[in-house]
Amino acid sequence: MKNNLRMCPRCQQITSIMPISDIYFSLLENKITDEKLKKLSSQQKKDLFKFLNPPSFNRRPIWNILPPDILFGTLILLLVFSILYGYFESRISLLNGTIPLGLVLIFYGAIRKKLQNTFNKKTKDQQEIAAALSLKADEWSDSCYCFTDQVIFHPKNEKIFTLSEFFARMHPEDAV
Ligand SMILES: [Zn+2]
The one-letter amino acid at 50 = K
Q: How far is the CA of 171 from the centre of ligand 1 (A)?
A: 24
Task: Confirm whether 124 is domain-assigned.
Answer: yes
Q: How far is the CA of 132 from the centre of ligand 1 (A)?
A: 28
Q: How far is the CA of 37 from the centre of ligand 1 (A)?
A: 15
Domain that holds residue 108: 63-133
* pTM greater than 0.75: no
Task: Determine the pLDDT at residue 57.
Answer: 63
Task: Determine the pLDDT at residue 175.
Answer: 58
SS3 of residue 163 by DSSP: helix
Indicate if 128 and 146 belong to the same structural domain.
Answer: no
Indicate if 93 and 129 belong to the same structural domain.
Answer: yes
Q: How far is the CA of 148 from the centre of ligand 1 (A)?
A: 5
Task: Determine the pLDDT at residue 5.
Answer: 58
Domain count, the chain: 2
Task: Confirm whether 127 is domain-assigned.
Answer: yes
The one-letter amino acid at 79 = L
Task: Determine the pLDDT at residue 95.
Answer: 79
Q: Please give the average pLDDT of every successive group of 10 residues along the chain, which has 176 residues.
A: 68 93 95 93 95 80 80 91 86 80 91 94 88 90 95 89 95 72
Between CA 156 and CA 140 the distance in angstroms is: 12
Task: Confirm whether 176 is domain-assigned.
Answer: no
Task: Confirm whether 175 is domain-assigned.
Answer: no
Q: How far is the CA of 10 from the centre of ligand 1 (A)?
A: 5
Task: Determine the pLDDT at residue 87.
Answer: 85
